[in-house]
């Protein structure tokens, strides 16, 4: 299906009838852009996946309500302040921003979603944000995907956006997206936000199913530090401006294309991770089922000893076997197989001769695979991880804005 998909420019605004704006409201002490707005036409369908953290921010509560009602007209996003652990006032303030913005674009407040990212436990600077809303509306343009992706950044060092155009027999469909995230990144999402858009005419029921699967295999399959945040949100909006997606073949192609966009955004988060210098794909096969494979992949990917070995370019692959062993999954160590990059280091539970020198070159690479085989089962899973460096500690010890 890859031959039917072409990368295009425009990011979240690449699909037809998606507008965006951004500005500096003064939420961040740095003076960098900190508010963005995405606007959609009447009748836009929406789906969302949100944090599994019991402690969730006020904007997440609002987003869940809006997506469930499924008539999304806009998403207000701010960075620099997570509006999490802010009590009743935090939710009241978020709802006031949504209703004020709804008045400006002539829709109901229940049609406006809001997402926030930044410092936890600090009230929103409401006067600054309320006064910025008119400027956000007046600045809307289909050319503002890039600036919007910059306005949602916190510790990110670069904006993250991706878009594709997909050729269907009936016509073309566009899918775009932007994301932010560099720390508090773990399976079950992270301190990350992702906004996906499409001009496909697709029902909410179908989009709900596709989004959950794509998130599980991308945003929920990356880890930098094993922390799940209070604000994680992935929202997709379908304007319905192009062809209808309802046949088995068209749904399959749309699913494949959306997964591609989600995967690219997910990997861009990993590559820009706090203190990250290496990205590694943990691929597990031969498990009794996919759930077992996923558990092993996550155990290895979140092991601090594995992650520091990746950073130090250490050929200490015993740490990988140990992490797999304490994952809680039953497997036969006498069958265990392990390859790092293109170097096989363990087969049938025993080391393979001559791996030492070849492995040293692989470990110097910026990106490589760790392939684990547990036996003859059909279970498979992939989780992407990173190294853990002293820079990560420095960034998070100093982080405040």
Residue-level pLDDT at 141: 98
Distance of CA 292 to the CA centre of its chain: 23
The answer to whether the pTM exceeds 0.85 is yes
Burial call 208-231: b when 16+ CB within 10 Å, e when fewer? bebbeebbebbbbbbbbbbebbbb
Strands 171-180, 160-168: pairing is antiparallel
Query: Using CA of residue 80, residue 83, residue 89, residue 92, what is the dihedral sign?
Result: positive
Residue-level pLDDT at 59: 77
State the 10-residue block means of pLDDT for the chain, 401 residues long: 95 98 95 97 92 71 83 94 89 95 96 90 95 98 97 91 97 97 53 90 95 92 66 89 96 98 93 86 97 96 94 92 95 95 94 90 96 96 91 69 42
Residue-level pLDDT at 222: 86
Residue-level pLDDT at 187: 44
The residue with tokens 């904006």 is: 159
Residue ranges and CATH numbers for the domains of the chain are 2-271 (3.60.70.12), 279-398 (3.10.20.340)
Residue-level pLDDT at 207: 95
pLDDT tens by residue, 351-373: 998 888 889 999 999 999 999 99
Residue-level pLDDT at 55: 63
Residue-level pLDDT at 54: 62
Q: Which of 117, 154, 191, 218 is catalytic?
A: 191
- Concerning whether 191 is annotated as a catalytic residue, the answer is yes
Confirm if 166 and 254 have CB atoms less than 8 A apart.
Answer: yes
Helix, coil or strand: residue 126: helix
Task: Give me the percent of the chain exceeding a pLDDT of 70.
Answer: 93
Confirm if 149 and 161 have CB atoms less than 8 A apart.
Answer: yes
Residue-level pLDDT at 62: 84
Distance CA 25, CA 3 (A): 43
Residue-level pLDDT at 190: 43
């Amino acid at each position: 299906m890859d031959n039917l998909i072409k990368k295009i420019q425009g990011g979240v605004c690449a699909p037809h009838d998606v507008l965006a704006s951004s500005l500096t409201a003064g939420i961040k002490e740095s003076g960098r852009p900190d508010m963005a707005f995405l606007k959609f036409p009447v009748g836009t369908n929406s789906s969302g996946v949100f944090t599994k953290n019991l402690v969730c921010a006020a904007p997440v509560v609002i987003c869940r309500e809006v997506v469930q009602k499924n008539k999304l007209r806009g998403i207000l996003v701010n960075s620099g302040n997570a509006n999490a652990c802010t009590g009743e006032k935090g939710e009241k303030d978020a709802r006031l921003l949504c209703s004020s913005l709804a008045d400006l674009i002539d829709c109901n407040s229940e049609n406006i979603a809001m997402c926030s990212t930044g410092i936890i436990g600090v009230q929103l600077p409401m006067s600054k944000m309320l006064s910025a809303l008119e400027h956000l509306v007046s600045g809307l343009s289909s050319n503002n995907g890039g600036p919007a992706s910059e306005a949602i950044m916190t510790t990110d060092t670069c904006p993250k956006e991706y878009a594709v155009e997909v050729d269907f027999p009936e016509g073309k469909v566009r899918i775009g997206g932007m994301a932010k995230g560099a720390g508090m990144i773990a399976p079950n999402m992270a301190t990350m936000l992702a906004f996906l858009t499409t001009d496909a005419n697709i029902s909410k029921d179908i989009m709900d199913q596709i989004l959950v699967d794509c998130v599980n295999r991308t945003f929920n399959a990356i880890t930098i530090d094993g922390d799940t945040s209070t604000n994680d949100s992935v929202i997709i909006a379908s304007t319905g401006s192009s062809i209808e997606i309802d046949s088995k073949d068209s749904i399959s192609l749309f699913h494949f294309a959306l997964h591609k966009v989600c995967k690219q955004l997910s990997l861009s988060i990993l590559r820009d991770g706090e203190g990250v210098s290496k990205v590694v794909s943990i691929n597990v096969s031969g498990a009794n089922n996919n759930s077992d494979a996923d558990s092993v992949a996550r155990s290895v990917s979140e092991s601090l000893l594995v992650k520091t070995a990746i950073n130090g370019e250490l050929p200490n692959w015993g740490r990988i076997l140990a992490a797999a062993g304490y994952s809680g999954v039953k497997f036969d160590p006498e069958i265990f197989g392990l390859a790092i990059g293109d170097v096989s280091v363990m087969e049938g539970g025993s080391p393979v001769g001559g791996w030492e020198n070849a492995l040293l070159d692989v470990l110097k690479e910026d990106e490589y695979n760790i392939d684990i085989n547990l036996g003859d089962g059909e279970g498979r899973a992939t989780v992407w991880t990173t190294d853990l460096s002293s820079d990560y500690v420095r960034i998070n010890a100093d982080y405040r804005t």
